[in-house]
Amino acid sequence: MKANNIPEPTILKVKAYKIQTRENWPENLLKKVIRMLKDNDICNINMADIDIAHRLPNKNDPNREIIVRIVSRQTKGLILANRKKLRGTNIFINEDMTRLNLHVLMCVKKKMADEVSDEWFNNVKITFKNHMDKPTMAQHNSKIK
Protein backbone atom coordinates (compact mmCIF):
# COMPACT_ATOMS: atom_id res chain seq x y z
CA MET A 1 0.00 0.00 0.00
CA LYS A 2 1.40 3.40 0.95
CA ALA A 3 4.94 3.20 2.22
CA ASN A 4 6.72 6.38 3.26
CA ASN A 5 3.80 8.52 2.06
CA ILE A 6 4.25 7.35 -1.54
CA PRO A 7 0.89 6.35 -3.03
CA GLU A 8 0.63 3.38 -5.30
CA PRO A 9 0.14 4.56 -8.86
CA THR A 10 -2.66 2.12 -9.67
CA ILE A 11 -5.14 2.78 -6.85
CA LEU A 12 -8.37 4.71 -7.38
CA LYS A 13 -11.10 5.81 -4.97
CA VAL A 14 -14.65 5.47 -6.22
CA LYS A 15 -17.55 7.23 -4.49
CA ALA A 16 -20.67 5.86 -6.14
CA TYR A 17 -24.08 6.57 -4.69
CA LYS A 18 -25.55 4.08 -7.17
CA ILE A 19 -23.58 1.18 -5.69
CA GLN A 20 -25.66 0.76 -2.57
CA THR A 21 -25.08 -2.72 -1.29
CA ARG A 22 -24.56 -4.08 2.16
CA GLU A 23 -22.43 -6.82 0.71
CA ASN A 24 -18.78 -6.36 1.43
CA TRP A 25 -17.59 -9.36 -0.55
CA PRO A 26 -14.81 -8.12 -2.82
CA GLU A 27 -15.99 -10.26 -5.76
CA ASN A 28 -19.52 -8.80 -5.71
CA LEU A 29 -18.20 -5.28 -5.28
CA LEU A 30 -15.73 -5.85 -8.10
CA LYS A 31 -18.54 -6.91 -10.45
CA LYS A 32 -20.59 -3.82 -9.55
CA VAL A 33 -17.63 -1.49 -10.17
CA ILE A 34 -16.94 -3.13 -13.55
CA ARG A 35 -20.61 -2.86 -14.52
CA MET A 36 -20.70 0.80 -13.45
CA LEU A 37 -17.62 1.60 -15.56
CA LYS A 38 -19.06 -0.20 -18.60
CA ASP A 39 -22.59 1.24 -18.23
CA ASN A 40 -21.24 4.79 -18.10
CA ASP A 41 -18.92 4.20 -21.08
CA ILE A 42 -15.82 4.92 -18.99
CA CYS A 43 -13.74 1.86 -19.73
CA ASN A 44 -14.42 -1.62 -21.07
CA ILE A 45 -12.61 -3.70 -18.48
CA ASN A 46 -12.99 -7.18 -17.05
CA MET A 47 -12.12 -9.01 -13.84
CA ALA A 48 -8.49 -9.48 -14.94
CA ASP A 49 -7.95 -5.69 -15.12
CA ILE A 50 -8.73 -5.13 -11.43
CA ASP A 51 -6.64 -6.69 -8.70
CA ILE A 52 -9.09 -6.08 -5.84
CA ALA A 53 -11.86 -3.75 -4.74
CA HIS A 54 -13.09 -3.16 -1.20
CA ARG A 55 -14.99 -0.54 0.76
CA LEU A 56 -13.31 1.85 3.16
CA PRO A 57 -14.61 1.86 6.71
CA ASN A 58 -16.92 4.75 7.57
CA LYS A 59 -19.60 4.35 10.23
CA ASN A 60 -21.32 7.62 9.33
CA ASP A 61 -21.85 6.99 5.61
CA PRO A 62 -23.72 3.98 4.17
CA ASN A 63 -22.29 4.83 0.72
CA ARG A 64 -18.69 4.25 1.66
CA GLU A 65 -15.86 4.89 -0.77
CA ILE A 66 -14.49 1.94 -2.69
CA ILE A 67 -10.77 1.43 -3.13
CA VAL A 68 -9.98 -0.19 -6.48
CA ARG A 69 -6.52 -1.48 -7.34
CA ILE A 70 -6.08 -1.47 -11.11
CA VAL A 71 -3.56 -3.91 -12.59
CA SER A 72 -2.05 -1.52 -15.14
CA ARG A 73 -1.33 2.20 -15.08
CA GLN A 74 -2.60 2.48 -18.64
CA THR A 75 -6.07 1.29 -17.62
CA LYS A 76 -6.04 3.68 -14.68
CA GLY A 77 -5.13 6.54 -17.00
CA LEU A 78 -7.98 5.62 -19.34
CA ILE A 79 -10.46 5.59 -16.45
CA LEU A 80 -9.24 8.97 -15.17
CA ALA A 81 -9.33 10.46 -18.67
CA ASN A 82 -12.96 9.40 -19.16
CA ARG A 83 -14.29 10.26 -15.69
CA LYS A 84 -15.61 13.58 -16.98
CA LYS A 85 -18.45 11.53 -18.51
CA LEU A 86 -19.67 10.97 -14.94
CA ARG A 87 -20.63 14.61 -14.31
CA GLY A 88 -24.11 14.78 -12.84
CA THR A 89 -24.27 11.05 -12.00
CA ASN A 90 -23.25 11.11 -8.30
CA ILE A 91 -20.28 8.89 -9.16
CA PHE A 92 -16.83 10.25 -8.39
CA ILE A 93 -13.52 8.63 -9.35
CA ASN A 94 -10.31 10.08 -7.91
CA GLU A 95 -6.73 9.05 -7.40
CA ASP A 96 -5.95 7.74 -3.94
CA MET A 97 -3.97 10.32 -1.98
CA THR A 98 -1.64 10.02 0.98
CA ARG A 99 -2.57 11.96 4.10
CA LEU A 100 0.27 14.37 3.43
CA ASN A 101 -0.87 15.08 -0.14
CA LEU A 102 -4.47 15.49 1.02
CA HIS A 103 -3.32 17.91 3.72
CA VAL A 104 -1.28 19.95 1.23
CA LEU A 105 -4.21 20.07 -1.22
CA MET A 106 -6.61 21.21 1.52
CA CYS A 107 -4.12 23.87 2.66
CA VAL A 108 -3.87 25.17 -0.90
CA LYS A 109 -7.67 25.24 -1.19
CA LYS A 110 -8.35 26.93 2.15
CA LYS A 111 -5.37 29.07 3.02
CA MET A 112 -4.52 30.30 -0.45
CA ALA A 113 -8.12 30.76 -1.61
CA ASP A 114 -7.61 34.39 -2.61
CA GLU A 115 -4.48 33.54 -4.66
CA VAL A 116 -5.66 30.29 -6.29
CA SER A 117 -8.31 29.97 -9.00
CA ASP A 118 -8.17 26.17 -9.41
CA GLU A 119 -6.35 23.21 -7.89
CA TRP A 120 -6.05 19.53 -8.78
CA PHE A 121 -4.19 16.32 -8.03
CA ASN A 122 -2.79 14.25 -10.89
CA ASN A 123 -0.02 11.64 -11.04
CA VAL A 124 0.96 12.22 -7.41
CA LYS A 125 1.39 15.97 -8.05
CA ILE A 126 -0.65 18.82 -6.61
CA THR A 127 -0.99 21.67 -9.07
CA PHE A 128 -2.85 24.96 -8.78
CA LYS A 129 -3.45 28.01 -10.94
CA ASN A 130 -2.41 31.30 -9.42
CA HIS A 131 -4.20 34.61 -9.94
CA MET A 132 -2.48 34.95 -13.34
CA ASP A 133 -3.78 31.51 -14.43
CA LYS A 134 -0.26 30.09 -14.41
CA PRO A 135 -0.13 26.41 -13.33
CA THR A 136 2.21 25.95 -10.37
CA MET A 137 3.16 22.75 -8.59
CA ALA A 138 2.68 22.76 -4.81
CA GLN A 139 5.65 21.70 -2.74
CA HIS A 140 5.31 19.94 0.61
CA ASN A 141 7.77 22.36 2.12
CA SER A 142 5.95 25.41 0.76
CA LYS A 143 4.85 28.07 3.20
CA ILE A 144 1.15 27.24 2.98
CA LYS A 145 0.72 26.27 6.61
What digits encode the pLDDT tens for the residues 90-135?
Answer: 888 888 777 777 777 777 777 677 777 676 666 667 777 777 777 7
Sheet holding 135-137, edge to edge: 116-122, 125-130, 135-137
- pLDDT (0 to 100) of residue 9: 60
Distance separating alpha carbons of residues 90 and 20, to the nearest angstrom = 12
| CA distances for 56 relative to 2, 32, 39, 65, 96, angstroms | 15, 16, 23, 6, 12
Architecture of the 11-95 domain: 2-Layer Sandwich (3.30)
The pLDDT tens digits for 55-82 are 888 778 777 888 888 888 889 889 888 9
Model confidence, pTM = 0.68
Residues of the chain with CATH 3.30.70.1820: 11-95
DSSP state at residue 71 = S
